[in-house]
Amino acid sequence: MSASHLALKAARRSTFPIQASEKDELALVMRQLDQVQAGLDRARVVANQNGQDARFYFDYLSANRYVGRILLTVSLPDQTLSVRKP
């Protein structure tokens, strides 16, 4: 086994879990939602190139709008909710 492989195994067994901050997690969500939108755009282009199957229709425009709303909500700081602590 290589040294890097052993170091990776040791890191996985560490007793100290590595936790990302909330800001990091939300940034990850934003990147994933960007990828979802890009995937929807690619699928829409392919569907238009191949012609729509009469038995199947997917509303890409609405799906993109929904994802856009989520992105907007996550990115706006005034959308956060106040948390009451006991």
Give the pLDDT confidence of 23-57 residue by residue, as tens digits. 899 899 999 999 999 999 999 998 888 776 656 78
Q: In the chain, what are the domain boundaries? A: 18-77
Question: 47: burial class by Cβ within 10 Å (0-12, 13-18, 19+)?
Answer: middle
Q: Is the dihedral of CA 7, 8, 14, 17 positive or negative?
A: positive
Residue 59 pLDDT class (50, 70, 90 cuts): very high
pTM for the model: 0.61
